[in-house]
Amino acid sequence: MSVPVRPILSALLRNRTGAVLVAMQIAIALAVLVNALYIVVQRAEKMGRPTGIDVDNVMVIASAGFTERFQTVPSIQEDLAYLRALPGVVAASVTGSIPLSDGGSNNPLLTNPEAHAGENYNALEIDEQGLAALGVHLVAGRNFTHEEIQPPLTKLDASRFVPEIIVSRALAERLFPHQSPLGKRVYDPLRQSATIVGVVDPVMGCFPSSDHPDWVYFLPRYPYAFGGSLVYLVRTQPGQRAALMRVVEQHLAKSNPDRVIDWVRPLNYFRDLTYLGDRSMEIYLITVTALMIAVTCLGIFALATFNVSTRTKQIGTRRAVGARRRDIVQYFLVENGLVTGAGVIVGCALALATGYYLSLQYALPRLNLYFLVGGVLLLWATGQLAAWQPARRAAAVPPSVATRTV
């Protein structure tokens, strides 16, 4: 069966304004759809990266001593003893900055004491329960022991380093490619050395938005607390976090008058905050793109319906001289297909140009061509679908219409 493209095309060309407008809509919709989806997928990938942390069962407590009487170490020990004795608590530790919050400290490490300067990596101070409190697994070497935990830095020795560290697998690979990092020495900028005693599973540190959030190392030390906040990390049994948070907040708020508890929050809070911009962008892009396609489809639908109603007599005449219902449906679908096809072709160029512009201007990665192919198919199919019902209606026009209004 041959499709009568030529007569449809020449009819279209005689009355082209409407067709051009539809094609323009399709072109813009395609360019937006493809680029928006591409950005959405990137954001989803970013947010979906594993954290390596048992985020759903960890709570974070901010505590700050503010009087002269406040003693950091005894206070930490008292609080940790209380937290660890609570039924439902798996582990509790103390640190200086909040994981996944995009805030914390980056310090250089060097593998060679002669090197000029090391690169910065995320450092997190923890005690012997720190890994367990985050739900991070050791893959090689050992954990810190209680005896190894160093006292906090003070106002007199703030440059002090630690003798041992634990590194993430990604950082180990970065520092000592293709070698076992265990027992290797690393140096701080003052060339004080530490030995790597353990390696943990991939774990995201404090900076999910950085280029390498998994370049993390752990220091066996109570946190630096010059009047700043201490952060307790407490991991609970699944399902018990919410209840324990209330208990803990009530107790700690009263247990020591020389400090304040700023808040007790689930760790998810900080991860969500970090990804807030990405999440909003995703929602916005999806909503607007969906609306755009909906508007385009409704437009195609309305225009096709309109065309059918204005062409009733013409359709009736065609039916009267022998066109089958199928031919009428085909006519409208082919017409729509041609218009949509033209729009899609222009749209491809527009999508590529937009993608190129975005990659230049905003340093986004270059558009992936699979998205373009997918977008083309999707828009073309939706276009046909929008024209389907009006085409059916056209086919229902009886041949007798042709004779009525002469």
Binding mask 154-173 for other proteins (x = CB under 8 A): -xxxxxx-------------
Give the Å distances, CA to CA, from 82 to 55, 85, 242, 246, 256.
22, 5, 17, 14, 12
When the beta carbons of 104 and 205 are compared against other proteins, the nearer one is 104
Q: Decide: is 227 part of the binding site for other proteins (CB under 8 A).
A: yes
Contact 139/167 with Cβ under 8 angstroms?
Answer: no
State yes or no: residue 295 binds other proteins (CB under 8 A).
Answer: yes
CA gap 170, 202 in Å, rounded: 7
Nearer to other proteins, 131 or 264 (CB): 264
Among 10, 13, 17, 177, which residue sits at the site for other proteins (rule: CB under 8 A)? 17
Q: Which segment (87-95, 134-142, 238-246, 278-286) binds other proteins by CB under 8 A?
A: 278-286
* Three-state secondary structure string covering 273-315: HHCHHHHHHHHHHHHHHHHHHHHHHHHHHHHHHHHHHHCHHHH
89 binds other proteins (CB under 8 A): no
One residue of 7, 74, 151, 228 binding other proteins per CB under 8 A = 228
Q: Is 382 in the site for other proteins (CB under 8 A)?
A: no
Site for other proteins contains 272 (CB under 8 A): yes
Pick the binder of other proteins from 163, 179, 262, 377 (CB under 8 A). 262
Token pair of 401 as six digits: 């219409």
How many residues bind to other proteins according to rule CB under 8 A? Answer: 59
DSSP for residue 82: H
- Of 104, 195, 187, 78, which Cα lies nearest the Cα of 148? 195
Cβ proximity to other proteins, 234 vs 308, nearer residue: 308
Contact between 13 and other proteins (CB under 8 A)? Answer: no
Strand ranges of the sheet holding 230-236, from the earlier edge strand across to the other edge: 89-95, 230-236, 58-65, 259-266
367 binds other proteins (CB under 8 A): no
Report CA-CA distances (Å) from 387 to 17, 315, 340, 390, 393.
18, 16, 11, 6, 10
Residue 122 near residue 206 (C-beta atoms within 8 A): yes
Binding site for other proteins (CB under 8 A): 17-18, 21-22, 24-25, 28-29, 31-32, 36, 39, 64, 66-68, 116-117, 155-160, 189-191, 226-229, 260, 262, 269, 272-273, 276-277, 280-281, 284-285, 288, 291-292, 295-296, 298-299, 302-303, 306-307, 309-310, 358, 361-363
